[in-house]
Amino acid sequence: MKLFLVGSLGQIGTEILHQAKALGYAVDAFTKNELDITDFESVAAAIQKSKPDTVINASGYHVIPDCEKYPDKAFDLNVYAVKNLAEQSEAVGAGFVNYSTDKVFDGTKNAPYEEDDPTNPLQMYGISKLAGEIVTYDNASRAYTIRTCGVFGGKTGSRIKKGNFVLYILNEAKKHTSLEVSSDQIASFVNASDLARVTISLLQKKPLPGIYHVVNDGYDSWVNFAREIIRLSRATLKIIPVDRSHAESEFRIPSFQALSNTKVKRLGIDLAPWQDGLARYIEYLKETHSI
């Protein structure tokens, strides 16, 4: 299998590159600086030259407040660039993988969302990612949209977000004795290593194209997630629950963000509980002297 990977330095891209190479796959990998996905001609030329079996887009515009401030940029990266990647994948007969988000839902179900549940994004980020889903299946016949939530991975986390929630909590523990964390939002979480593994498993199994949810099993509040980070890392930080559901904000976040791995489970692909995924990530950070 030959892969064409964009966003190779991100939390997901780093893991896909590592695992794919370990399996002996050929990978043409590109960082943001090496290939600008909004430069359609350069992307087309690179894919034509590579002639991969699958194109994987592990890049995008993920900072929710910035998407509200700069909606044009959100659509450039999350929609128009995705449309071009899908078209160019189709042109060389390659499959296409794009990542989406729990934010395509409005959170009113109050139970884990399955792949076929109605979408209703509440903010520009979710709107742009949902539009990215639509242009994916409109322009690529062998496309997989992988929705995920609460990703954590790597020594430094997400480059565009300058970290991740786990690293944020651990850094706060070095500076403060207590920290307020949202208790009103329920979410799923996933170790980027598990997300990459399932992505590659989907490519190996070649199920029907479509939307697949991939998160570690289970869900909880962000405050309990933070408490588990502190417990596992043995850091000292008092986590104080705070309900921000009525606080004024420029954008809305779903109160219930959890996803159900319904379709990948039918394929025989299981994911460990989020507590296990988090424990492995904490151990990785310790082994790499990141904490």
Determine the pLDDT at residue 209. Answer: 97
CA distance 188 to 25: 30
The separation between the first and the last C-alpha atoms of the chain, rounded to the nearest angstrom, is 36
> Among residues 157, 149, 159, which one has the least CA distance to residue 188?
149
Going by the DSSP 8-state scheme, the letter that residue 186 receives in this structure is E
- At 187, is the secondary structure helix, strand, or coil? strand
Angstrom CA distances, 239 to 173, 176, 222, 231, stand at 10, 11, 10, 11
Helix (H), strand (E) at residue 29:
strand 26-30
Write the DSSP assignment of 215-250 as a string of letters: --B--EEHHHHHHHHHHHHT---EEEEE--TTS--S
Tell me how far apart the alpha carbons of residues 46 and 82 are, in angstroms, rounded to a whole number: 15
The pairing of strands 26-30 and 95-101 is unpaired
Burial (0-12, 13-18, 19+ Cβ within 10 Å), 288 = exposed
DSSP-assigned beta bridge partners for residue 96? 55, 143
Which pLDDT belongs to residue 156?
86
Residue type, 65: P
Element (H, E) at 129: helix 124-139
Which one, of 251, 255, 245, lies nearest residue 69 by Cα?
A: 251
Q: What's the pLDDT score for residue 174?
A: 94
Q: How far apart are CA 267 and CA 66, in angstroms?
A: 37
Q: Do 149 and 259 contact (CB within 8 A), yes or no?
A: yes
Q: Is 109 exposed, middle or buried (0-12, 13-18, 19+ CB in 10 A)?
A: middle
Please tell me the total number of residues recorded for the chain in this structure: 291
Q: CA 271 → CA 11, 33, 59, 276, distances in Å?
A: 18, 33, 23, 10
Full pLDDT tens readout for the chain, 291 residues? 999 999 999 999 999 999 999 999 999 999 989 999 999 999 999 999 999 999 999 999 999 999 999 999 999 999 999 999 999 999 999 999 999 999 999 999 999 999 999 999 999 999 999 999 999 999 999 999 999 999 999 988 887 777 899 999 999 999 999 999 999 999 999 999 999 999 999 999 999 999 999 999 999 999 999 999 999 999 999 999 999 877 667 778 899 999 999 999 999 999 999 999 999 999 999 998 878
